[in-house]
Chain A
């Protein structure tokens, strides 16, 4: 009973801190089962004619709220964004089934109000200044605090939560996962266009996040939860942060859930990829957790930024420098090595299916290459948004393969 009251108090204090209505608060780290996972997807709401962003998320949310479901749908900072989050998941197949249910429900609700839904990290031609802040106090406060950055943040990411049994473990596994975060940027990259122009990057979205003052990575000298809590208190003392949500790090602990959160991915064009990529992150974390006391080395901010830049720029064809060894790898090859190693030790019966989906991405050169191939074939920005939306509408096939149609087949 006392625990329940403490939990409620903690949740209330956290809510006040997040809303900026109370003092800074860092909740105690909740304990989770190692390997449990959750997926958050930020989705685009599109006009069915022009495929420009459409401010219809509140109407879609109203319809989704009427549905009984294990997952949740919530608003995001602008009214053309829709966030969905799975329940706590235990395996790839569970994840694949739930994201497919989410895909169907969201698409149905969007169609009912006359909108379309799409995955993708950034809308190819939206203008940031035309976006509308969601009519909710928290988002209005963000708009006031961050100025134009709030609307500029109309980008669409996927976050993966991996359950951690204790707080110290979360900090250590988080440090390892941070090293490998650029691999996930490369694998998920699908935002080659930004504000109507070909950015020359596979993930233009990745560059937008960097504009926020608390973006980047968790400092590598934090070696325990105590260190992290001290760091939080120091920043809170300066009024820089008020809650864990003020850290826009690529990987951060999420104490109220008892997870570490990987936040670098572009929302995949099809949710099936989301389940596969989340499973990859999950298996990596389980592997790292099984090696207690081992810490990554060579984690300089500059090296991380370089790896991150390469991944965002060139996607899976990019290079990744291993901070521990200094060796350089082509990301696609490194991912294949990872998957082979992890598949051999995984106890998730569905993980080989996830590996097949990721291999499909690797063979096609990644989602960004698929989109740029469309542009090379003459597609304009609107059509790029349309084909991305059509990929989202494709039901998960029994084999779970071939989400993205051939370039010739699209739109014909």
Chain B
């Protein structure tokens, strides 16, 4: 008898495995919630059990089946990040907007400052630092939704996430262009690489403008009220994703900008007043997959690597807090909370959705080790830190009860 025929049939269906993972995430989430542990850790636990650290049922190869879906999910998460960016507030309330921008700069700078002495090359360090500018929207948004958090620190952190992605997307384009022209592989010259990477961003931005125009025309023609517009919005988002896919442009920037445009340009009857909550569910799926594919405990067993990863992780939070010193609208407690909420980080694929590329190809073994340790730490620790931040701010619903 063939050995494979003795295995349960569902193991041959990637969809069934992902479904089982999500089910497990929910079950663990509910059980953990009863023990006052954030529900989001259900997704982390399920990923650890089914992923490469556990039974190995979910790994990067399996996730490749869902690359298109994962790209779309990542882009939708950035759409959510974009729609939380209040440009009028960031610009006019500069005492608050400026520290959030400064936080982006300092997160990048401190990562370079810590990685170079550790033996990571300048260009690699700059590349990793560009990624580390961004704050993970999945962890934050899911945690906010789970705990019904609302308030000043939640609002500021949400703005910081959108802002960090805008800065990180540009920084990653430049640093990746440099890395590809000067790094291990030495492909095209820097200028050509920059044009290539920057072109993806510019094209993504152009597609966002086009799709926003389509959305505006469609909603104006139909005179649809806010509650009736999510359908039109969904259609234009799919259009945006599709156009980005065929033109190999940055779907992430494109959807981030779509969110930004809708949030800030559409004043009357804003479509977001319909209270879309889909990102909460997407968050669970993405965190499960991150936990399954990215966390390998052995990555954390190399003490020097773990040490530098912990240092970078802590330093990012510390410099974000440092940047907030000049913010006038927040109490010290809220500033601590915002810094904690900004503690999570993203992976390369969360900034550059392009299945033809792998960041690993451009990095040395040391840099890959550090990045993998950081991502593992992120999955394990970031939800707890974000949860602590929201509680410290006193902005979760349960925290307000007598």
Contacts and interface: CB of A to CB of B under 8 A. Distances in A.
B236 interface: no
Contacts of A135: 394, 400
B272 interface: yes
B263 A49 contact: yes
A54 B86 contact: no
A140 B401 CA distance: 9
A240 interface: no
Q: Considering residues B86, B152, B263, B267, which has the most beta carbons from chain A within 10 angstroms of its beta carbon? A: B152
B273 A55 contact: no
Contact of B330 (A48, A59, A378): A59
Q: Considering residues A55, A114, A130, A382, which has the most beta carbons from chain B within 10 angstroms of its beta carbon? A: A114
B156 A114 contact: yes
A63 B225 CA distance: 37
A294 interface: no
B149 to A, nearest CB: 10
B400 A133 contact: yes
A386 B269 CA distance: 9
Contacts of A130: 148, 397
A112 B96 contact: yes
Interface residues of A, number: 32
Contacts of A144: 402
B150 A112 contact: no
Nearest to B267: A411
Q: Considering residues B273, B334, B400, which has the most beta carbons from chain A within 10 angstroms of its beta carbon? A: B273
Given A49-B86, A59-B334, A112-B328, A382 B270 contact: yes
A132 B400 contact: yes
Interface stretch (B53-61, B87-95, B286-294, B316-324): B87-95
A378 B268 CA distance: 11
Contact of A133 (B226, B263, B402): B402
B155 interface: yes
Interface string A111-153: 1111100000000000000101101000010011000000000
A56 B273 contact: no
B395 interface: yes
A379 interface: yes
Contact of A383 (B226, B275, B397, B400): B226
Contact of A50 (B152, B273, B328, B395): B273
Contact of B152 (A115, A140, A379, A412): A115
A79 B330 CA distance: 16
A4 to B, nearest CB: 35
A383 B86 contact: no
Interface string A35-74: 0000000000001111100111001001100000000000
Contacts of A79: 400
B89 A380 contact: no
Contacts of A48: 86, 89
A51 B273 contact: yes
A143 B401 CA distance: 10
A382 B223 CA distance: 17
Contact of B331 (A54, A62, A380, A411): A62
Given A111-B89, A112-B329, A380 B156 contact: no
A383 B89 contact: no
Contacts of A132: 397, 400-401
Interface in B226-283: 226-227, 263, 267-270, 272-273, 275
B328 A54 contact: no
Interface in B16-50: none
B57 to A, nearest CB: 40
A82 to B, nearest CB: 13
Contacts of B267: 386, 411
Contacts of A63: 328-329
Interface string B142-177: 000000101110011001000000000000000000
B402 A143 contact: yes
B329 A55 contact: no
Contacts of A62: 331
Interface string B60-85: 00000000000000000000000110
A62 B148 CA distance: 23
Contacts of A383: 226, 268-269, 273
B397 A140 contact: no
Q: Considering residues B155, B226, B227, which has the most beta carbons from chain A within 10 angstroms of its beta carbon? A: B155
A380 B89 CA distance: 24
5 contacts: A55-B400, A62-B331, A113-B329, A113-B330, A130-B148
Given A113-B329, A114-B329, A132-B397, 20 more contacts: A47-B155, A50-B275, A51-B273, A56-B155, A59-B152, A59-B334, A112-B96, A114-B86, A114-B89, A114-B156, A132-B401, A133-B402, A144-B402, A378-B225, A379-B269, A380-B225, A382-B270, A411-B267, A411-B269, A412-B268
Which A-B residue pairs are the 7 nearest by beta carbons? A382-B273, A132-B400, A411-B268, A112-B329, A140-B402, A114-B155, A59-B152
